[in-house]
Amino acid sequence: MNASNPALSAAPLAPGLDAPVPLPVREVLPWAIFIGLIMLIAIYFVGAEQGATSIFLGMYIHEFVHDGRHLLGFPCH
């Protein structure tokens, strides 16, 4: 208790934050799908964009993500 000002000691720390607010699945699901697709695309470019599975010509993407490939354990040579 605050002895200098008793009114401050009786005040709640955060009024109205007694219970957590539920988050509807309908609001989260589109974002989860979007982030999942972005992650799958990123994994494709880091892990499989070379050789027979290559979509783009040249080795530019492979060279751009080369160190990331080895960091994540993808062999490339």
Model confidence at 68, in pLDDT bands (50, 70, 90)?
confident
Report the C-alpha gap between 37 and 31 in whole angstroms: 10
Report the C-alpha gap between 19 and 10 in whole angstroms: 20
pLDDT of residue 10: 57
- Show me where the domains of the chain are located: 24-77
Q: Is the pLDDT of residue 1 over 60?
A: no
Q: What is the 3-state secondary structure (H, E, C) of 5-73?
A: CHHHHCCCCCCCCCCCCCCCHHHHHHHHHHHHHHHHHHHHHHHCCCHHHCCCCCCHHHHHCHHHHHHCC
pLDDT of residue 17: 66
pLDDT 10s digits, 9-65:
555 566 666 788 888 999 999 999 999 999 999 888 888 877 777 888 888 888 888
pLDDT of residue 13: 61
